Each structure stands twice: as structure tokens, then as C-alpha cells.
């Protein structure tokens, strides 16, 4: 007999283009997706965040944006539950990530700041909310990111294959899922995913992103510029490591272009940034894991056809054997909904007091239970 419990995952990525919400059944230690919705990010909230970002970082805990964003989350959850004809009483908990506005190392200390008020979300939905996952990991000596590798192992493990799961969001991160039980799960942020592509499009093509990678596909890659990009200190940093869109930002590109000291067509820069996202992933796999059998891609970058083409073509140069590259759709999981599934799973883990071992991923000191519980009563 199936023992099923419903959890919800909700988050908004660094690009602030959408609020993703998924409803999941956890049945006999397996995850089943009930529904997934992408919801437009409110322009009003996005503009307030972007226009007051530096002030927000200093006084985020005082900002009404915490309540405003969580009210929006609550509205989305309530609408989705109504559409799916699920009562709030049937939901065990919501895993809420919030909106990251800062994730960096400052004076030897890791800092991760998310906007959002879990208590407000709980009151709006009448459902328990679990949050503060990243800061719990930091308190335990970790970097607070990436959180995905253990979840990727939970849903994508196959005993006869050495798999890499690549999540291409604003930042790209990879998870090694080994077929050898004696090797620990591991993963890290490889560098820029969509963030540099998006910021270049906004500043040079007057659009938010390169839909399907069609603009980049019209131009050639500048190998000299690509090599300058790849010389960045982050790519040489030892594990564990995580990064953010604060580091890989538009200014980062402009600084590298100054090093190149040549005027380069804006389309060629875009093409080179798209290649950078692919090559930095492959270099990271090669340098840390030597090779693998399969690579599966999730996140928004899975829909950038040029980026995926670059991954497939460049893999031939980096690996001596053939490595198959597909999106997680081939594994039966919508590439866009994997991260919402992650936060539902984190909520499930917290409700069940499961200790998660991020020692080999974030550098945490020991396995621990992640997340605080917020009740609406």
C-alpha cells in the first residue's frame, strides 16, 4: 500500500523572470510530480529589488519586500492548490527558498541572503513553511550552496552509470552521481550559466534573454576572448566552491573585454559567453571527475539550443570516450521543475528530521538537519 505525503516547493531564481511552484507526492521514498507552474515575476517587486539592491543587502531583514514577495508566493500557492483541487490540509509543508540577493564570502565568512518571509507565507496558505536552508548549512561550516546534489542522487541515481546532473540557472552547478557506493556524492558551482548571457542581452540587444540561443547561433566564438574568460580565478579555485551573479555580472564581462584590448562585435561576445557556459561545465567535470557516462541538463539553460549544442560538440574534445548528453526530460523529469522539487524534498527531509550530509559538497562540518519550521498559528 502506498504511503503518500504532499509537499510543495517554491522559489524564484536569480534572473527574477519567474516564480516556480511545484506540488509533489512522496510515496514510499519516491517522488512523483503532481503539478508544476511557472508564474510571471511581478514587475513591481522586481523593480524595487533591482533599484534598491545595495540598500537591501544592508537592511534586508527590515524590508517590506520580505512580506510583499511572500504574499505573492502565497497567492500563487493558493491558486495552484485550487486548480489542482488539493486542500491546504493535505499538504505537509512548503519548502521556500526565497529570492537570493547576495551569496558571497566576506572576510573569510560565507554570507547568503534571501528575501522572503516564511511566516507570512504560512499565514497566507495555512500550511507549515520550511526555510533558511542555506544559512543552516553556513552555520554548520558550509558554503550554503549547492544544495541540489543529494536531491539529484535521490531522484536520478542509476547503479550501473556514472552520471553528472547539470543545473543551468543563473549559475551552473553539477552533481556527481556515482555507481560506486564507496564514493561520496559531490557537486559544486562551475561558474556562469545564464547570467552573463542574460545581462549581455539586456545591455546590448534590449531583451531579457537569448530565446533558445538563436541570437548567439548567428555568430562565431572568439577563441582568444574565451581563453581570457577561462583564466578567471574562480575556475582555478579548489573545491568546495560556490559563486553568484554578484561575481559573474555585466561588469565582469566588461573588465575581461578590457584585457582583450580589442573591439569585438556584440554578437561575437554573446556567442563566446554562451560557449563559456558550456566549456566551464565540461572543464569542471574533466578536472574533478575525469569523465562520466552520461550528462543530464536541467534548469532554464536546458532550453538554450546553442548552449546544449556547444556542450555536445565540446564534449568530444574533453572526453576520450563518448558521453551522452540530454536534458532530464529523458529521465521523466521536466528540466524546469527540478529545482522546485529540490525545495519540496528539503521540506520533506526537515519534517522527517533527516540529517543531510553536505560535507563533501559545501564543506559542512557534519551531517545535519536543514531548515527552520514556521507555523501559521
Tens digit of each residue's pLDDT (9 = 90 or more) over 97-132? 999 888 877 666 788 889 999 999 999 999 999 999
- Do 189 and 306 have their domain in common? yes
C-alpha cell at 53: 539592491
Residues, the chain: 377
Distances (CA, A) of 112 to 142, 242, 249: 11, 11, 17
pLDDT value of residue 160:
85
pLDDT value of residue 107:
62
- Do 180 and 218 have their domain in common? yes
pLDDT value of residue 260:
79
Q: In this predicted structure, which of 108-122, 202-216, 244-258 has the lowest mean pLDDT?
A: 108-122
- Do 24 and 134 have their domain in common? yes
- Do 49 and 156 have their domain in common? no
**Cβ atoms 328, 303 nearer than 8 A:** no
- Do 46 and 129 have their domain in common? yes
pLDDT value of residue 271:
98
**Mind listing the pLDDT tens digit for each residue in 15-39?**
888 999 999 999 988 999 999 999 9
CA–CA distance, 21 with 340 (Å, rounded to integer): 6
> β-strand 294-298 against 163-168: which pairing, if any?
parallel
- Do 303 and 180 have their domain in common? yes
- Do 80 and 152 have their domain in common? no
- Do 159 and 181 have their domain in common? yes
**Structural domain containing residue 244:** 148-331
190 backbone φψ class: left, alpha, beta (φ>0; ψ -120 to 50): alpha
DSSP letters spanning 209-225 = S-GGGTTGGGS---HHH
Query: Does residue 160 sit within a domain?
Result: yes
pLDDT value of residue 371:
97
DSSP letters spanning 74-139 = HHHHHHHHHHTT--GGGEEEEEEEEEEEEEEEETTEEEEEEE--HHHHHHHHTS-EEE-HHHHHHH
Query: Does residue 359 sit within a domain?
Result: no
**Mind listing the pLDDT tens digit for each residue in 162-187?**
999 999 999 999 999 987 776 789 99
Nearest to 166 by CA among 300, 2, 349: 300
Query: Does residue 362 sit within a domain?
Result: no
| pLDDT over threshold 90, residue 96 | yes
**Mind listing the pLDDT tens digit for each residue in 214-231?**
999 999 999 999 999 999
CB atoms within 10 A of CB 155: 18
- Do 202 and 314 have their domain in common? yes
The CATH number covering residue 96 comes to: 3.30.420.40
pLDDT band at 63 (very low <50, low <70, confident <90, very high): confident
Number of domains comprising the chain? 2
Considering the entire predicted model, what is its pTM? 0.95
- Do 22 and 77 have their domain in common? yes
**Cβ atoms 23, 110 nearer than 8 A:** no
Return phi, psi of residue 109, to 5°. Answer: -120, 135
CB atoms within 10 A of CB 78: 15
C-alpha cell at 157: 541515481
- Do 17 and 158 have their domain in common? no
The fraction of the chain above a pLDDT of 70, given in percent, is 98
Positions of E strands within the chain: 4-12, 18-27, 30-40, 91-106, 109-115, 129-131, 163-168, 171-177, 186-192, 294-298, 324-327, 372-374
Amino acid at each position: 500500500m502506498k504511503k503518500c505525503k504532499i509537499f510543495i516547493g517554491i522559489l524564484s531564481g536569480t534572473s527574477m523572470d519567474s516564480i516556480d511552484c511545484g506540488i509533489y507526492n512522496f510515496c514510499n521514498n519516491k517522488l512523483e510530480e503532481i503539478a508544476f507552474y511557472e508564474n510571471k515575476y511581478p514587475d513591481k517587486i522586481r523593480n524595487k529589488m533591482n533599484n534598491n539592491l545595495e540598500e537591501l543587502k544592508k537592511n534586508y531583514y527590515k524590508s517590506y519586500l520580505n512580506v510583499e514577495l511572500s504574499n505573492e508566493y502565497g497567492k500563487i500557492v493558493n491558486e495552484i492548490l485550487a486548480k489542482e483541487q488539493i486542500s491546504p490540509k493535505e499538504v505537509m509543508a512548503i519548502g521556500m527558498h526565497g529570492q537570493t540577493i547576495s551569496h558571497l564570502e566576506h572576510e573569510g565568512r560565507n554570507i547568503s541572503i534571501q528575501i522572503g518571509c516564511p511566516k507570512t507565507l504560512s499565514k497566507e496558505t495555512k500550511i507549515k513553511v520550511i526555510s533558511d536552508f542555506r544559512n543552516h548549512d553556513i552555520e554548520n561550516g558550509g558554503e550554503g550552496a549547492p544544495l541540489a546534489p543529494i536531491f539529484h542522487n535521490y531522484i536520478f541515481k542509476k547503479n550501473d552509470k556514472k552520471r553528472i546532473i547539470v543545473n543551468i540557472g543563473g549559475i551552473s552547478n553539477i552533481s556527481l552521481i556515482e555507481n560506486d557506493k564507496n564514493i561520496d556524492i559531490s557537486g559544486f558551482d562551475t561558474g556562469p550559466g545564464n547570467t552573463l548571457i542574460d545581462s549581455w542581452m539586456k545591455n546590448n540587444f534590449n531583451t531579457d534573454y537569448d530565446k533558445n540561443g538563436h541570437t548567439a547561433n548567428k555568430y562565431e566564438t572568439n577563441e582568444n576572448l574565451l581563453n581570457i574568460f577561462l583564466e578567471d580565478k574562480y575556475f582555478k579555485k579548489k573545491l568546495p566552491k560556490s559563486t553568484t551573479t554578484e561575481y559573474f555580472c555585466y561588469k565582469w564581462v566588461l573588465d575581461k573585454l578590457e584585457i582583450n584590448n580589442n573591439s569585438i562585435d556584440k554578437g561575437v561576445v554573446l556567442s563566446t559567453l554562451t560557449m563559456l557556459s558550456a566549456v566551464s561545465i565540461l572543464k569542471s567535470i574533466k578536472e574533478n571527475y575525469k569523465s562520466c557516462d552520461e550528462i543530464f541538463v536541467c534548469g532554464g539553460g536546458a532550453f538554450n539550443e546553442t548552449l546544449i549544442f556547444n556542450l555536445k560538440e565540446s564534449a568530444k574534445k574533453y572526453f576520450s570516450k563518448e558521453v551522452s548528453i540530454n536534458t532530464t526530460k529523458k529521465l521523466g523529469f521536466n528540466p524546469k521543475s527540478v529545482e522546485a522539487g529540490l525545495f519540496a524534498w528539503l521540506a520533506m527531509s526537515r519534517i522527517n528530521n533527516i540529517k543531510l550530509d553536505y560535507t563533501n559538497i559545501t564543506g559542512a562540518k557534519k551531517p545535519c538537519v536543514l531548515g527552520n519550521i514556521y507555523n501559521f498559528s
